[in-house]
Structures are given as structure tokens and as C-alpha cells.
Amino acid sequence: MREDEVISVLLAAAQPVAGAGVLRGPGDDAAALRPPAGQDLAWTVDDHAEDVHFRAAWGWKAVGRKAAGAALSDLAASGASPVGALLALTLPAGFGRGDLVELGRGFGQKLAEAGCPLVGGNVTRGPRVQLSTSLLGAIPRGGGLWRDGAEAGAALFVSGPLGLARAGLLWLEAGGDRDDPALQPALRALLDPAPRFELGLALRDHSCAVLDLSDGLARDLPRLARACGCAADVELARVPAPTPALAERVGEAPSALAWVGGEDYELLVAGPPALEGLGLTRIGQLSAGAPGEVRGASGEAGYDPFADAPSGSGAPTHE
């Protein structure tokens, strides 16, 4: 396929939804948008790369959904509503038309479910498949959610079970059966992450600090605490984890999965105790102390792909 053909196949498969503020979609040097009047913009970019964040064997539709879901999560965690997306896609020489259709379909579906129009992008040749997704969202003036929005004494919460995506990753990397019923919650968490838009919008009414758990609690909790200038006390036993039965299938303790597992895209929130009413689970609090220090938890660090000796079994990383 030639470049122009790649673009037209991809767009036909993605079936972009219309957007009220989209003046010009794909086809020019730039897209043109008219952002909602009187609102601020949240702007983020997220990469999904073959053999770092996914395997070709997982299926291209799943890869498209996963890449879009992970990127959308950054908007959700900012309290933003989607305005539009650009996709910079890298494809190897042998990538087939059928695979491109599946990739475009998965990516487009996931965007459409969030009401997010695909307004442009770029294609490049490369040794492996990579999706770089840039997203714009709208937030009320001064109303966004940021990781430094809380102080010592704030309660710490997470929005759902952690470690499921890591369990799914361990299962697939070990060659486990994709259709095993017991693994479905884990595989869904890994392959089809749900951005927490509703929760993000609800949190805008509260004074709180928020980030999405892309790299795992072990790495993301110190980041939030550091941004708030606080230490964090966490009760690991309170962190919602995969069931012991599921954890046993992948050979790791539930609490270990929940502590180091990345890519769950649940929200980590620090704020008033009343936030529990939003369906959040309380796991500890911010407290006076060395900024970023985490107390009362296992000392195991999350997986960092830039560490000198990365482990092959950890979940990948996202900023």
C-alpha cells in the first residue's frame, strides 16, 4: 500500500464520529478546531509500541482499542471531555490491509465510544507498529484535575481493582488460553481499558489531586505524593486486588499484582473523605514527611522501561 492508500483505508475503518468543534478534519497540513467558548483545553500524547506495550499476537483490533483507551485515560484523569484526536501511526513494510482495517476499526470504535472525533494524523514506515495518539479535551476555566491538588491529611483513594491488567499480561506472555473464562476480567483490563470520564467529571466539583494509574501504584503513588509535597501512608491490604484464585493462575500474590501492576488506568485520588461516596476505595492518606516517600507498603518498585535492568514481566509505562 502507498501512503495515501494507508490513510484512506485507515480512515474508512476508523469511521470517525463528527465533532461540534471540528472545522477541518483529515486531509490538510493541519486540522482546524473551534474549541468550546470560555473553556480551557487539556492536551496529551500517549504512545503504544509493539513489543513494549502490546504484542502483534493479541490481534490488531484489540491493539487499537487498547491504544485509544490508554490515551483517553489521560484526558479522563484531567477532568476533560474529548474534543478530538490525532493519530501518528508507524507501520512496518509487510503490514497487510486486513490488519490495518482491524487496527483502524478498534482504534476508531474506542474513540467513538468516548465521543471523540479523529481529525488527522500521520503515517511513517518503521520496524514495528507504533501508535502515538494526541488528544485534546475541554475543561471548564480553571476546573481541571492535577496531581498537585491535595495537602497532608487528604485521604487516598483508587477507583477500582488494581493488578488485573498485569495479571492479563502475565497470562498472555506465558502463552495462556485467551478464552479461559477465569481470566476474562484480567484480559479485559489489559486489552480494553475503560477511561474514567464520568468519575473525572464528578471529581471536578472537589478539591483533590488526581492521576491515572498507568505505571502502577508503586510508581504512581510517589509521583502524586511528591507533587503534593507530602509523604503517603498506604495500607496495602485495603488496595482492591485481583481474587486469590485469579492471582494463583498467574503465579503472583494478589497484593503484589495490585502494588506493581501498571496499565489499569484506574484513578488515584487524594482529597476529602467524602469522596468515598463517588464509589472510590480508601487506601491511606497523605501526610507530612519527605515528599514522595511512601510508608507502610512493600518496597518493590513499579516497572520502569528506562531502568538499567528492566524486568520482562512488568507492565509497560505511560506518562
Rounded to 10°, the helix 3-14/97-113 angle is 40
Binding test (CB under 8 A) with a copy of itself, winner from 81, 90, 255, 285: 90
Our finding on whether 74 is near a copy of itself (CB under 8 A) is: yes
Report if residue 132 touches a copy of itself, rule: CB under 8 A: yes
Q: Is 8 among the residues that bind a copy of itself (CB under 8 A)?
A: no
Lay out the site mask for a copy of itself across 98-127 (x = CB under 8 A, - = otherwise).
---------------------xxxxxxxxx
β-partners of residue 139 are 40
Stretch 240-299 residues interacting with a copy of itself (CB under 8 A)? none
Closest CB to a copy of itself among 27 and 272? 27
Per rule CB under 8 A, is residue 207 in the interface with a copy of itself? no
CB of 304 to a copy of itself, least distance (A): 5
Distance CA 18, CA 188 (A): 27
**Among residue numbers 138 through 197, which ones bind a copy of itself (CB under 8 A)?**
139, 141-142, 144, 146-147
Q: Are 211 and 145 in contact (CB under 8 A)?
A: no
Cβ contact 23:276 at 8 Å: no
Count of other CB atoms within 10 angstroms of residue 74: 24
The answer to whether residue 33 forms part of the interface with a copy of itself (CB under 8 A) is yes
CA distance 302 to 97: 37
CB 161 within 8 Å of CB 240: yes
Q: Which is nearer to a copy of itself, 212 or 252 (CB)?
A: 212
Among 45, 174, 237, 290, binds a copy of itself (CB under 8 A): 45
Angstrom distance (rounded) from CA 235 to CA 104: 42
Among 7, 208, 270, 283, binds a copy of itself (CB under 8 A): 7
Q: Please, which residues bridge with residue 118 across strands? A: 85
Q: Is 52 in the site for a copy of itself (CB under 8 A)?
A: yes
Residue number with CB closer to a copy of itself (136 or 315): 136
Q: Is 24 in the site for a copy of itself (CB under 8 A)?
A: yes
- Strands 155-158 and 267-271, by their bridges, are antiparallel
- 136, 156, 178, 179, 310 from 172: Cα distances, Å: 32, 32, 7, 11, 19
Among 8, 27, 96, 205, binds a copy of itself (CB under 8 A): 27
